[in-house]
Structure 1
Amino acid sequence: MLSPDEAADLIEAIAARQDRAAFANLFRHYAPRVKAFIMRGGTDAETAQEVAQEALIMVWRKAASFDRGRASVATWIYTIARNKRIDLARRAGRPAIETEDWLTVFAPEEADADKSVLAGQTYTRVKELLGGLSADQLVVIQKAFFEDKTHTAIAEELKLPLGTVKSRIRLALGRLREALEKEES
């Protein structure tokens, strides 16, 4: 298990010296985790493996752009993987994944007790807020974010116009965002 500082040191070694051993250690640690992260979004194992490899190749190429002051290595790598997954979906001709992609909210982080507690609290609060949505909004949110279905697939499944599905998702996300912002202030 790599600590956050060890992982950051590996990235910096890759950036400074193109250290292959550092990359091998980073790859061994993160490749299976990134693959699992992508698969949780509904992607098949083969495609998830491809996305993980592409993401880690990008880590090799862009290591110099990593800034440990801005994000943890895990957050940086999972963001790259998420973007690769979006690129793959676009190339496949599927509608773009919304920028509010909830996979980033629940991205696995380094093992840290405070983060685990905070993640649990966030999960519980989001679950409570979802209970406050109308049944129409809740069903489209569940299909879009938890079943990872496209807006078009949801519209076909529910026999609704595409615009209605998009409106319900937008309204639901707006209500959730508004409720979370009220709590923060």
Structure 2
Amino acid sequence: MRTGSSDAAAEELAQDTLVTVWRKAAMFDPAQAAVSTWIFTIGRRLRIDAARRHLLDGAGDECFEFDRLQADQPDVADHADASRQGQRIREALSRLPPEQAQVLRLSFYEDEPHARIASELGLPLGTVKSRIRLAVAHLRRLLDP
């Protein structure tokens, strides 16, 4: 819709994107990109294809502005913001109690399921979940100005 599409066209494009994601899910490679990047790339390419069809069919007199489409890669400002945010998070993690930081790292950075964390650390599952909940609340307090 930000590129000038009607509500109906944007909804149609979103539907086409989800169908393509469903059909090509086996082709997704997490080593190449995040799932959100992959999905947005599919949507962007479908939008460009639709705009080209629209222009070739002569369906509209207006000229589509490809420059209004957002880039696939973050710009320098986004990258700098992400770096600053990452540094703030690392500093906040270092201020957490060690047992909370440990379960957060295992859960969020290593993507371990809670049950596996409990097994690895020899803790009850409820304790792992409580530590994660407490750690996230503590991080929020540390990160919110």
Same fold judged by TM-score > 0.5? yes
Aligned residue for 1:165? Answer: 128
Q: Which runs of 4+ in 1 moved over 4 A?
A: 31-35
Unaligned runs of 5+ in 2: 22-27, 47-68
Paired residue for 2:85, among 86, 104, 122?
A: 122
Aligned residue for 1:36? Answer: 33
Paired residue for 1:16, among 9, 22, 32?
A: 9
Which runs of structure 2 are paired with 1:34-183 in the superposition (5 Å)? 36-38=33-35, 110-181=73-144, 183=145
**What is the CA–CA distance in structure 2 between the aligned matches of 1:36 and 1:141, rounded to whole Å?**
23
1:139–1:33 Cα change, 3 Å: closer
Q: Which structure would you say has the larger Rg? A: 2
**What is the CA–CA distance in structure 1 between the aligned matches of 2:99 and 2:91, rounded to whole Å?**
16
Unaligned runs of 5+ in 1: 39-51, 61-71, 75-108
1:156–1:119 Cα change, 3 Å: same
TM-score by length of 2: 0.57
Deviation at 1:32, TM superposition (A): 7.0
CA RMSD of aligned residues (A): 3.9
